[in-house]
Amino acid sequence: MADADELLRVWSSLAPPESETWSSARPGPPLDAVAARLSSVPRSFLDDEVSITALSCDIAGVACASAAYADDVRVRRGAAIGLWLLAGEELVEPFDPPLAGPWALRAVDALALRVAPVVDPLDWLADDERREEAARTYLLWAGFLPAGEDRETARVLWQARDSLRRSSALAEAYAAYEHREEIARRLAEARAKEAAARYSSE
């Protein structure tokens, strides 16, 4: 089993900056509906014998990034619950607006690699506060704000539930990973601009 620190490092390498995610989020489905669907995950999705790669390909047509770390039971369960939110749109009823979209698998990975290493996914099913944390996290990384909440309200309520922020050691390590990824992104952008400028001057 990978340690939480390593899984958070993986997530920070995949995720865009949190500020960008908030700024692009648009009104989404009601938080209560997402939380209720999350709590109704079928037992078959939680079966440790089920391949996350196969499940993701069946539901989304491609494997989620967290499938590569699904030998960790927390990651496997977190990804499976996230994939159920997508599958439920067809098997139960669609959300309004639908969660399926360009960032749907990023939201699955957020549950599997950002939340699951800090809070056991089984707690999302048993504890109202942890379930709300998972639902809010999924909505955010899928590109949505909970219905009826403005950006600032949604941010404050999510941060109040965010278990990562409550663990000072993990939060500090995660902030360092985010900082390094941001520096790497800026360097890559600067190199691309420099190369384009050289090309145009030739």
Among candidates 15, 8, 14, which has minimal Cα distance to 170? 8
pLDDT over 60 (residue 173): no
Among candidates 76, 174, 158, which has minimal Cα distance to 116? 76
Per-residue pLDDT tens for 63-115? 999 999 999 999 999 999 999 999 999 999 999 999 988 899 999 999 999 99
pLDDT over 70 (residue 35): yes
Per-residue pLDDT tens for 116-162? 998 999 999 999 999 999 999 999 999 999 999 999 999 999 988 88
Residue 169 — very low, low, confident or very high, per pLDDT cuts 50/70/90? very low
What integer is the mean pLDDT of 36-52?
A: 93
pLDDT over 80 (residue 166): no
Which distant-in-sequence residues (6+ apart) come within 8 Å of 45 by Cβ? 55, 80, 81, 83, 84, 87
Question: What are the residue ranges spanned by the domains of the chain?
Answer: 4-201
Least confidently predicted of 8-12, 17-21, 81-85, 175-179: 175-179
pLDDT over 80 (residue 187): no
**Can you give 51-116 as a three-state secondary structure string?**
CHHHHHHHHHCCCCHHHHHCCCHHHHHHHHHHHHHHHHHHHCCCCCCCCCCCCHHHHHHHHHHHHC
Tell me which of 155 and 197 has the higher pLDDT: 155
pLDDT for 1:
55
Query: Which H or E run contains 176?
Result: helix 168-201
What integer is the mean pLDDT of 161-169?
A: 71
